[in-house]
Amino acid sequence: MGGAIARGLAKGTIVGAADITVSDPSEKILQQLHQEFPDMTILTDNRVAVSEADFVVVAVKPWLMKSVLAELPLQPHQVLVSVAAGITFDQLVEYTAAPEQTMFRLVPNTAMSQLESMTLIASRLATPEHERLMVEIFNEMGLAMLVPESQIAATTALTSCGIAYVLKYIQAAMQAGVEMGLYPKDAQRMVAQSVKGAAALILNNDTHPSVEIDKVTTPGGITIKGINELEHNGFSSAIIRAMKASC
């Protein structure tokens, strides 16, 4: 995810590659980034990497966050951005021993690599200018939304976990297509484009799924038969239960 964020920043218009420093213990990962973005600074020393940073993005597994933050010489003017799932602001304050530090929690999803992430942003002691900048930056990698920290768990279920449920639908629909005589690759493209189109209808028109469903469910038609079959088999309930389980 750290690499995806670095690539997304470099491809955007707000932060240039020359303004990005990436630190990682893997030389291979760093060299791949450097080949794509020669102006990007790559290091294997976290302390050096953050020394002149305005924003410090820490994208590590949750169980590594405490040890990584312990070695970072954060300055009061720096903004800490955590991409570690489940690590609260209270824990970040404990790990940094910096109760006055401006902090953000960032929850992207894997579509960040395609600049199509749904990114959730929670803030602590941030100015309105900092919040606007964060939203603008991550809007360039998809769609970004400010949420209170109390909603992070629920919104993560809908977005970071939820993308897997959408992919599961695509996979299941592909299997149906194959059973009905389609080649897998053809079925995959058809279903994926249909999902992309459905999302575009909602996002571009500020409409509601029920409104768009009504447009294709003519009385006695084939679509309503399929919709009712989904409901008879607990489709909506399964989605709701999956989201709640992830939360």
CATH 3.40.50.720 in the chain, residue ranges = 2-147
CA 212 to chain centre: 26
> pLDDT, tens digit, for every residue of 143-181?
999 999 999 999 999 999 999 999 999 999 999 999 999
> pLDDT, tens digit, for every residue of 55-94?
999 999 999 999 999 999 899 999 999 999 899 999 999 9
Q: What is the pTM of this model?
A: 0.89
| H-type alpha helices, 37-150 | 46-50, 65-70, 89-96, 128-139
Q: Are 105 and 152 a contacting pair, CB within 8 Å? A: yes
- Assess whether pLDDT exceeds 90 at residue 4: no
CATH 1.10.3730.10 in the chain, residue ranges = 156-246
> pLDDT, tens digit, for every residue of 214-243?
999 999 999 999 999 999 999 999 999 999
What's the topology of domain 2-147? Rossmann fold (3.40.50)
Q: What is the pLDDT of residue 110?
A: 86
Q: What is the pLDDT of residue 213?
A: 96
Q: What is the pLDDT of residue 112?
A: 87
User: What are the two backbone dihedrals, phi and then psi, of residue 224, each rounded to the nearest 5 degrees?
Assistant: -65, -30
Q: Are 210 and 217 a contacting pair, CB within 8 Å? A: no
Q: What is the pLDDT of residue 222?
A: 96
- Assess whether pLDDT exceeds 90 at residue 12: no
The helix or strand, by DSSP H or E, that contains position 105, with its residue range, turns out to be strand 102-107
Q: What is the pLDDT of residue 113?
A: 82
Distance of alpha carbon 110 from alpha carbon 186, whole angstroms: 23
> pLDDT, tens digit, for every residue of 84-141?
989 999 999 999 999 999 999 999 998 988 889 999 999 999 999 999 999 999 999 9
What's the topology of domain 156-246? ProC C-terminal domain-like fold (1.10.3730)
CB atoms within 10 A of CB 156: 19
Q: What is the pLDDT of residue 206?
A: 92
